[in-house]
Amino acid sequence: MPERALWTCPRCGRRFANRNQTHTCAELRTLEEALAGVAPEMRAIVERFLALARRQGPVTVLPERTRIALQARMSFAALQPRRAWVDGHVVLARRREDPRFVRIESFSARNHLHAFRLRSAEEVDDEVADWLAEAYAVGEQRHH
């Protein structure tokens, strides 16, 4: 079955897998603007996380007002740098138990948000890379 074309919001220009996707038409910042004033260790977490995500394939980084979203066809992860840690989540097609997930929200049988908190770049390890591989498949809509 051929891949459906992405829908582009006529107001803000963002692209989505679903036509008329609910979203806020807000101007995106640059990644540099989003990381301005962020402590070096928190910046290192974000940069390492983005590097691991990009190993999976093309990633659109969307520095929004309150978060940095990662999108393939759909959003599959997001980060929120704080003063002493980085909060974030990955969207997986299954509930995945891991002590580093602080919360799991299930929206449907194949849509589970897994929230985490990272305090050092060393925590962005092979296990996080594995989360991102699984989440990227969701973002590419290859998880059916």
Percentage of residues in the chain with pLDDT exceeding 70? 83
- Could you tell me the pLDDT band of residue 1, with boundaries at 50, 70 and 90? very low
Q: Per residue in 70-81, pLDDT tens?
A: 999 889 999 999
Give pTM, 2 decimals: 0.83
If pLDDT is split at 50, 70 and 90, which confidence band does 18 have?
Answer: low
Question: Rounded to an integer, what distance in angstroms lies between the CA atom of residue 65 and that of residue 106?
Answer: 25
DSSP E strand boundaries for the chain: 7-8, 15-16, 60-63, 68-71, 75-81, 86-92, 101-108, 111-118
